[in-house]
Structure 1
């Protein structure tokens, strides 16, 4: 406990200039103010960020008046939920009126009701580790539900009964999985039981709110821990049913584990390779497209499983089927079009490398591999490497060497031919001039002919390309 107190003291020293000034302003106006929830928890864990959440007795219009002239910027986008946001220096501060959130059984949106006390506000929060507060400006510690004990035991519990908590806001069931993945905490048995009993209630929550929690889980330091909670409680059956469906199937290459376990291993291995991605920056970092592609890459297997006479199992075209399922699921969860297409494309291409064998591809096949992947090529490299989960070390090493060789060939050809921006040797205007055509379908056909020629034979130069084009046109 001494270590926790020392961490809190250090964090308070850091945020003191901001919260003390605010606390004094609210106290002078006869209002209560307290640092609450995640920032208090994170201060005790030594991981406080630049965002501060506070709760107050003041109504939003009063809060807005009290921060005016003190904050560098103020916004009221959360006013309907009792929240006024502001920025002070490097700090982002959100101040919310004491409140209660509860769902009507048939509603998709929470009804906001203002509360009248700090104790009441804390009792309506999701978990005990988020139900601690620091009153301001006196810095009194409030912990009516034993959050500090659960924090020490790394356990997720609810302030009241989990049934009441999840009835008030069903999304809290997904937050349990998310906090498990983010903090490495265990979900208490009674909380897991309530999640299992009430899993279907998640269906009244909007797709956007479900998506945001799923993304936070996938982007956490240990997403597999959180995903297991979602699957084992039955929540995944409602929000990402393709994942638990994998547990019923056997992977034809790795019969010692089912496709579900294989998928979670691929996700972990993908995370280990994130530093290879151009968007990762120094030291790597979470990449949603890479992680979600790893999670979804085999979801087509249940639909395509076939048993052969010799007892073996095939999953022909599970890449194409999986891409369709991925698009459908991501659209249902309201993901952006760009993210959806990126993940679905990687799912569709994830088997392509296995046609490489031991290096028999022609330069033409390598060009097509690069062209089909387009800007997603680094992500395809990561997914393909992560998809090797064999325990056979010799086989794993052989696959790694083969993919190293493919990447070397891609790099070599790229230097020679600028593979990432492959285009025909002639553009549309040149084609029209050579063939005496106006814009239309025939120009598109000629362009595709030259593109195939470019992929098959590499750069030809404008003169040779024009000669081949005239011959092709005459032969038509």
Structure 2
């Protein structure tokens, strides 16, 4: 047990939860704040919600709050929602037994509203202060109770910028095969939470050390220790991890994309007289990453975003780039439904993750790239790089150019866009209708 205390004011923002807590205690039940709220408070982080642990049964809680909106959820142990506040019956006969069954030491703490003391049977306060992620009790038993805990532990390493306790990491490696039993929906949810953590690379590093990569991202393991090529002093693995950490936590999907952006480099490696190159690795990586994310339960939109970032991460704008070259890049990003800002964030992160060229792109280089794109996207000069920017649409082609409704319309519009990208002055309705008629004749 620890003598750590938390003043009630730390939870003042959660008035509904405190009301539920007080009412349970007034009726003679044990009731304490448990789990993540205690952990986050000790970390000095915002407490998102208060979860209450009590010796009252689900039926007793339901009866006590008869006038409130009450829903019963959860299968493994009784859990009741009282106006959005989670009230869980002890797992076991007592609070101590409940805390002994929780996953990680710093999640197995409770706060007593009478004494303000933190109840800490597993030394979670100490582990939290040292940023150590440790399973409670027998780590193998904890993992077998719910194999998702393998990922959950790795996620907390990323959130805390911490490390796994040695015995817990050994247990992960021994039980890694249980990942095959975890539903994909639960896996992808944990991955996204990990990508919003303080140091997302540590999530992947923990997966690697714990033997979990083969079950999630098989080809990633081949990048560990692999020569980064002539432009890098770091390995492929180190480069991807550095690029991941270079992205803001506001963009978890982009972080995931950067963690995977060079995953196909090992299979594309070609050693020449000047060293190793990886021609076409971005194209080879796109279907590989898409297959990963499909298997892990990501949505079609999420899959497309991540895989297209991988596909386009080698595109560059420099001092030699012409306006039409910039428009081609913008067209390809638009066709992939990728915001150019996210693509550029990835490009900057990719450049920063380089021990050979410390610091990545210079401020002048970044200004040049942003300026080149802005010149084509600003309201004053809206460069045509999307079908929406054309002076004609499909209806115009059918009505005024005599093109029959069908696939030909789309092909002609795309061909018109290619022409306008090369020569923006063509983007008038009269000119494009004339060009459309000629194109339709050639395709007929």
Q: TM-score, normalised by structure 1?
A: 0.83
Residue 240 of structure 1, CA deviation? 2.5
Alpha-carbon distance change, 4 to 370 in structure 1, aligned in 2, over 3 angstroms: farther
* Other structure's SS at 1:286 match: coil
User: 1:311 Cα shift?
Assistant: 5.8
Give the match for residue 51 of structure 2.
53
2:230–2:276 Cα contact (<8 Å) kept:
no
| 1:452 maps onto 2:415 in alignment | no
Partner of 1:95, secondary structure, is: strand
Give 1:195 shift. 1.4
1:65-104 pair list within 5 angstroms? 65-69=63-67, 73-78=69-74, 81-87=77-83, 92-99=84-91
- Which residue of structure 2 aligns with residue 286 of structure 1? 250
Which stretch of the first structure deviates more once superposed, 117-126 or 420-429?
420-429
Query: Deviations for 1:187-238, whole angstroms, at most 9, x for unmatched residues?
Result: 2111112112222222212112222222211110111223211111212222
**Separation (CA, whole Å) in 1 of partners of 2:239 and 2:151:** 23
Match of 1:23 in 2: 21
1:18 and 1:472 map into 2 onto residues whose CA distance is: 67
- Could you tell which deviates more after superposition, 142-151 or 47-56? 142-151
Check 1:10–1:64 CA distance in 2 against 1; reply closer, same or farther (3 A cut).
closer
- Report the secondary structure of 1:177's partner residue: helix
Aligned twin of 1:184 = 161
How far does residue 19 in structure 1 lie from its aligned partner after superposition?
5.1
- Which of these residues, 394, 397, 407, is aligned with residue 441 of structure 1? 407
Match of 1:417 among 382, 390, 393: 382
Shift of 1:57: 2.0
**CA displacement at 1:291 relative to structure 2:** 0.7
User: C-alpha separation between the residues in 2 aligned to 1:206 and 1:123?
Assistant: 25
After TM superposition, which residue ranges in structure 1, 4 or more long, deviate above 6 angstroms?
Answer: none
The structure in which a higher percent of residues are helix is: 1
Q: How far, CA to CA, are the matches of 1:208 and 1:348 in structure 2?
A: 25
Displacement after TM superposition at 1:9 (Å) = 1.2
Correspondence 1:344-383 to 2 at 5 A: 344-353=307-316, 356=317, 358-374=318-334, 375-383=338-346
SS at match of 1:23: helix
Q: Return the offset for 1:403.
A: 4.6
**Where does residue 240 of structure 1 map in the other structure?**
217
User: What's the RMSD between the two structures over aligned residues?
Assistant: 2.8
Partner residue, 1:466: 433
CA 1:68–1:321: 2 relative to 1, 3 Å: farther
User: Which range moves more in the overlay, 189-198 or 464-473?
Assistant: 464-473
Gaps of at least 5 residues in structure 2 are: none
Q: How far has the Cα of 1:328 moved from its partner?
A: 0.4
Alpha-carbon distance in 2 for matches of 1:193, 1:402: 46
Aligned to 1:204: 181
DSSP 3-state at the match of 1:303 = helix
Q: Residue 344 of structure 1: CA displacement?
A: 0.8
Contact 1:425/1:454, CA 8 A, preserved across alignment:
no
CA separation in 1, counterparts of 2:200 and 2:211? Answer: 17
Question: Of the candidates 241, 245, 268, which is equivalent to residue 264 of structure 1?
Answer: 241
Following superposition, the deviation at residue 145 of structure 1 comes to 2.4
Q: Which moved more, 1:380-389 or 1:412-421?
A: 412-421
Shift, 1:381, TM fit: 0.5
Q: Tell me the residue number matched to 1:119.
A: 96
Post-superposition shift, 1:39?
A: 1.2
TM score, norm. by length of structure 2:
0.88
Q: Is the 8 A contact 2:232 2:355 kept in 1?
A: no
- The CA deviation at 1:83 is 1.6
Is the contact between residue 246 and residue 349 of structure 2 (CA under 8 Å) also seen in structure 1? yes
Distance 2:369 2:14 in 1: 55
1:275 matched to which residue of 2?
Answer: none
- Separation (CA, whole Å) in 2 of partners of 1:469 and 1:341: 31
- Once the two structures are superposed, the pairs formed by residues 218-237 of structure 1 within 5 Å of their partners are 218-237=195-214
| Shift in Å, 1:142 | 2.7
Cα displacement (A) at 1:417: 2.4
SS in 2 for 1:76: strand
Is 249-258 or 160-169 further displaced after alignment?
249-258
SS of the aligned residue for 1:85 comes to: strand
In structure 1, the residue matched to 2:265 is: 301
Structure 1, unpaired ranges of 5+: 100-114, 272-284
Is the 8 Å Cα contact of residues 346 and 376 (structure 1) preserved in structure 2? no
In the alignment, is the contact (CA less than 8 A) between 2:103 and 2:135 conserved in 1? yes
CA deviation digits over 1:429-452, x for unaligned, max 9?
A: 221233333312333332222222
For residue 419 of structure 1, report the CA deviation from its aligned partner. Answer: 4.3
Secondary structure, counterpart of 1:417 in structure 2: coil
Match of 2:306 in 1: 343
Is 1:326 aligned with 2:289?
yes
CA contact (8 A) 1:75 1:84 kept: yes
Taking the aligned partners of 2:126 and 2:361, their CA distance within structure 1 comes to 47
